[in-house]
Structure 1
Amino acid sequence: MGGTPGWEQEVLRTIALAAIREQRAARRWRIFFRLVWLIIFLAIVAGAYFFLAADKSAGGERHTALISVRGEISAKSEASSENIDAALEAAFADPNTAGIVLQINSPGGSPVEAGIVYRNIRRLRQAHPKVPLYAVIGDVGASGAYYIAAAADRIYVDPASIVGSIGVIMENFGFTGLMDKLGVERRVQTAGENKAIGDPFSPENPVQKQHIQQMLDQIHQQFIKAVKDGRGARLHETPDMFSGLFWTGEQSVRMGLADGFGDADSVARDVVKQKDVVDFSIKESLSDRVARRFGTAMGASAFGAVLDGAATRLR
């Protein structure tokens, strides 16, 4: 036969490569269509889930809305004013919310964050007068957490809960004595004679100390006013009520810091009269926590650490 020697192998190779390409293309299309069907299936499942959730929330079923306030109250925590206020807005806006239970288990935290939540609760209660809001304190509802609770219509506690601590604290350290022993000299320059106020490596300045005390006293009075406005005539004020002391739940009821005993379930069942509970709490995801902690660790500096250590706290 004529032709270039080995042409048979070349033709076979071409046919084989074409077949392989066709198989690969077919396989890619199969994978593509399987992914499309998987996406459609997941979309259907997700749609059904959100439909059922929406139906439960807004389809005619009355419920008690639950919002958790757990851990330290700060702008960087799960118990931030941003998260709590978003949950409050959603709970009050839901037409099937019969009442709201603010489930508190927190030692306190930022007076700014607590004040924001307190004022927002008061605003929302005026806007939605038919939706009551009750605070339920678990293990602890102290300082900034009690600040928030004071905005509720009523406060319920366990007899063994820790309640109160109506005071303000600013913490810091002084290392001047240790530096003298070690022969370490502190060198700092500022523009503004009070710019280094609270510096733990410098001797305490009486004038600056008095300025800080005035600030703490002012924040303390804001806290006291919020409690008195929220609790009103129910308070049985004692000389040490606003001294920073804390009490058991049993004592707090006698003092008028709380109204009675109960937990989230009992308040939903017996007070709101809606035992079906829908959780409106905004919870931080694992990725959010990792990102936040990583960002905090990367962004920290020696100066920032000093400022954080001297932050004003309600706890």
Structure 2
Amino acid sequence: MFGRKTPKDKDLMGHGSTSEKEWKLIERVVMANSLELKRTRRWGIFFKALTFVYLFLLIGIFMVNSGDLGESRASGPHTAVVEVEGVISASDRANADAVISALKRALKNEGTKAVVLRINSPGGSPVQSAYIYDEIMRLRELYSDIPIYSVIVDTGASGAYYIAAATQEIYANGASVVGSIGVTAAGFGFQELIEKIGVERRQFTSGDHKAFLDPFSEVDPEEQALFEELLGEVHQQFIDDVKKGRGDRLADNDKLFSGLFWTGTQALELGLVDGLKSTSQLARELGYPDIVDFTYRPSPLEQFANSLGASMASTLVKLSQSGDLTLK
């Protein structure tokens, strides 16, 4: 009858009402989750941006302060220090550009009364060493009122001693390693090995000596003589510059330029050094005990780039170069 609800109609209405409530509940849950996700995303973006700003500010502070820490403290009379540490090479910290620029900055500073090259190096490139030697000689004339000294710490051998010879006086510790005035170039020969394992060497060159120092070919007597002559000329340049720098302080000893090295105490007897002192002791005796470091330091970005693998690539390149000259 009209106006009368059957049980079937009641079930349908009840089911519809329940479905509507469920959908509203689901809608509220979804909206709440969406709001929470948006809120979380906004906070995530905020904290990430804050982190990047902090890192960039930190890097900026390091970049502003790096390289000028010594100069910022150089307010009064002081002894300036420039370190020559590690292998002397164009691709290492102890390269001519870095050492020379640090020396110039130290000498231009109004408070600098003396400069000390603090040396701890086994040597390296004769070219880089000669560049530094020549520039020290020039700077000594240009800044004649500021003496330049060398203090050898653990090692001042080969090219490192070449550099030290340009300074007015050289000091070391009694146990320091000093000297090794000589030149060396080393390599390997694999010609017999590749014959034993059945490898055929194929090489094409234009020029009779273009394959000079090839490790897979036998040593040519003519090329060997030419190379020994080249080493002799570099060695003689080394000897002449040491004599020029040290003068009559050198002892008359045939082994002085043989490539041998000595302790600091022995070097003092041979005239290779002028005394046994540390950097601090020398600065005190000079009357300027305040020490300011002018050594070039790589920026944080350069250090970060090196840590990513640039230094590893550089090492691999060096290992592949077996014919480089080295002062020893």
Matching of residues 202-213 of structure 1 within 5 Å: 202-213=217-228
Matching of residues 86-101 of structure 1 within 5 Å: 86-101=101-116
- Structure-2 residue corresponding to 1:152: 167
1:309 maps to 2:327:
no
Match of 2:314 among 290, 296, 302: 296
Match of 1:237 among 252, 255, 258: 252
| Residues 287 and 71 (structure 1), Cα distance of their counterparts in 2 relative to 1, 3 Å cut | same
1:218 maps to 2:237:
no
Matching of residues 1-315 of structure 1 within 5 Å: 56-58=72-74, 60-271=75-286, 273-284=287-298, 285-288=303-306, 290-296=308-314, 305=320, 308-315=321-328
Deviation at 1:139, TM superposition (A): 1.2
Task: Say what the alpha-carbon RMSD is for the aligned residues.
Answer: 3.7
Deviation at 1:38, TM superposition (A): 7.9
Q: Could you tell me how far apart the structure 1 residues matched to 2:198 and 2:170 are?
A: 55
Cα contact 2:71–2:294 (8 A) shared by 1? no
Give CA deviations for 1:84-123 in whole Å, capped at 9, x if unaligned. 1111111111111111111111110000010011111111
Q: Could you tell me how far apart the structure 2 residues matched to 1:114 and 1:189 are?
A: 35
| Residues 114 and 43 (structure 1), Cα distance of their counterparts in 2 relative to 1, 3 Å cut | closer
**Given the two structures, how large is their TM-score scaled by the length of structure 1?**
0.80
| Residues 44 and 147 (structure 1), Cα distance of their counterparts in 2 relative to 1, 3 Å cut | closer
**Given the two structures, how large is their TM-score scaled by the length of structure 2?**
0.77
Give CA deviations for 1:4-33 in whole Å, capped at 9, x if unaligned. xxxxxxxxxxxxxxx99xx99x99xx99xx
Q: Could you tell me how far apart the structure 1 residues matched to 2:89 and 2:54 are?
A: 41
Letter in 1 for 2:325: T
| Residues 86 and 49 (structure 1), Cα distance of their counterparts in 2 relative to 1, 3 Å cut | closer
SS at match of 1:309: coil
Deviation at 1:299, TM superposition (A): 6.4
Q: Could you tell me how far apart the structure 2 residues matched to 1:135 and 1:72 are?
A: 17
Deviation at 1:297, TM superposition (A): 6.2
Cα contact 1:57–1:94 (8 A) shared by 2? no
Unaligned runs of 5+ in 2: 1-34
Cα contact 2:71–2:292 (8 A) shared by 1? no
Deviation at 1:296, TM superposition (A): 2.6
Letter in 2 for 1:141: G
SS at match of 2:226: helix
Give CA deviations for 1:244-268 in whole Å, capped at 9, x if unaligned. 1111111111111100001111111
Letter in 2 for 1:279: D
- Structure-2 residue corresponding to 1:3: none
Cα contact 1:73–1:114 (8 A) shared by 2? yes
| Residues 63 and 288 (structure 1), Cα distance of their counterparts in 2 relative to 1, 3 Å cut | farther
Deviation at 1:71, TM superposition (A): 1.0
Identity percentage over the alignment?
Answer: 39
